[in-house]
Amino acid sequence: MRTWRLDHAPLMLAAAYMVVVLALCRPQLPALLQFLGGYALSLCSVWTMVGLCVLLGATVRVQRSGGDASAFAIARHFAVRSWAADRGLSVLAPLLTVVVLLCSYNIYKAFYLPTAGFWFEGYADAADRLMFGADAWRLTHAALPSPWATQAIDMAYHGWFLPMVVGVALCSFAPPRARLRQRYLLAYVLLWIVQGSILAYLMPAAGPCFYGAFQADPGRFAALTGLLDDQNRFLLAQGAPGLYALVYQHGLLSLHHAPEMAMGAGISAMPSMHNAMAVLFACAAWTCDRRLGIAAALYALLIWVGSVHLGWHYAADGIVAAGLTLVTWAALARLPAPHAPAAIRQADAVSGQPVAA
């Protein structure tokens, strides 16, 4: 029973979070259902892609080890194990968790979080200058002055669905009751609730790119926004895609205080959930394999630099997020080890090849 509660704790926490958000924001039911449907449709394609990639990888691994199992046999065995474990809920629960959680967070961020104001902005700004002796963005642009470097950072930074969504999708295709799966999903939900919602409300900040829209000194980061505009014009003139960050920043600002729900709407910088998700992804990768962990840690470092370089965040936003994520991950290391129910062991025995898809 205790293991069952841990298996389903992320989904139950996400559902409880949604109840609180709906009580605070009171969206119209038709709009809410449409919003949930939009999230579900957008994420199903990712889940399908990840599932096919996992199946391909499992097939290659089995065949290289001398086995003769087909992709169909591997998929069938995975389905049997999942059904034996909890009637397939282990496959569906991560998707349901993300749909409920991110939809709720989106509503909270767009409609309730703005009531906190952005009074913490000056403290985050001052923290950067205290730590680095100057605005952090000046250091990144001094080290990487080329518009082409900014273009590369921009393209890497906005591929953030990798740690945010793909990591959870992989949990759907992990062996039922896997300990890493339980730890990752629970950390994922807790980070969005504690960091992304509670701490964001207690330390509300918009970030350098929005400073001029909400603070009394609109010219404070004019040098940064002007530099990014100049680089964007140069890149577009050279036939490059240009900086997606500027498009998204203008879009978020236009949606601020808009009455309708929009996917991705809402402004919040402290703590940085983008950085938190990248660090969480690195923690899980490190637990799986040290080489993967190093690669994912370098990716998380790139996300932190990119968040500053593109004006989304103060350096302090990412530092706070990373520190709290590491603490959360370490705290969840004490989760009790799951055990395979007799039904799963029987399914393995019948198939004769316990393959973890």
For the segment 205-218, what is each residue's pLDDT rounded down to a tens digit? 999 999 988 988 88
Confidence class for position 54, pLDDT limits 50, 70, 90: confident
Average pLDDT rounded to a whole number, residues 242-267: 88
pLDDT for position 3: 46
Largest CA distance in the chain: 70
Residue 339 pLDDT exceeds 60: no
pLDDT for position 177: 62
Compute the distance between CA of residue 149 and CA of residue 235 in angstroms, rounded to an integer. Answer: 11
166 CB contacts (<8 Å, ≥6 apart)? 46, 50
Confidence class for position 49, pLDDT limits 50, 70, 90: confident
Compute the distance between CA of residue 112 and CA of residue 25 in angstroms, rounded to an integer. Answer: 6
Average pLDDT rounded to a whole number, residues 152-162: 81
Residue 314 pLDDT exceeds 80: yes
Burial class (CB in 10 A: 0-12, 13-18, 19+), 29: exposed
Residue 291 pLDDT exceeds 70: yes
| Angle at which helices 273-288 and 179-190 cross, to 10° | 170
Amino acid at 317: D
Average pLDDT rounded to a whole number, residues 243-256: 92
Q: What is the pTM of this model?
A: 0.88
Compute the distance between CA of residue 76 and CA of residue 74 in angstroms, rounded to an integer. Answer: 5
Nearest by Cα to 47 from 175, 196, 222, 166: 166
Average pLDDT rounded to a whole number, residues 185-193: 95
In the DSSP assignment, the letter for residue 110 is I
pLDDT in tens, 15-42: 999 999 999 999 888 888 888 888 888 8
Burial class (CB in 10 A: 0-12, 13-18, 19+), 45: exposed
Mean pLDDT of the chain: 86
pLDDT for position 342: 47
CB 120 within 8 A of CB 204: yes
Work out the percent of the chain whose per-residue pLDDT is above 90. Answer: 56
**Domains of the chain by residue range:** 2-351
Compute the distance between CA of residue 242 and CA of residue 325 in angstroms, rounded to an integer. Answer: 32
pLDDT for position 319: 96
Compute the distance between CA of residue 102 and CA of residue 288 in angstroms, rounded to an integer. Answer: 26
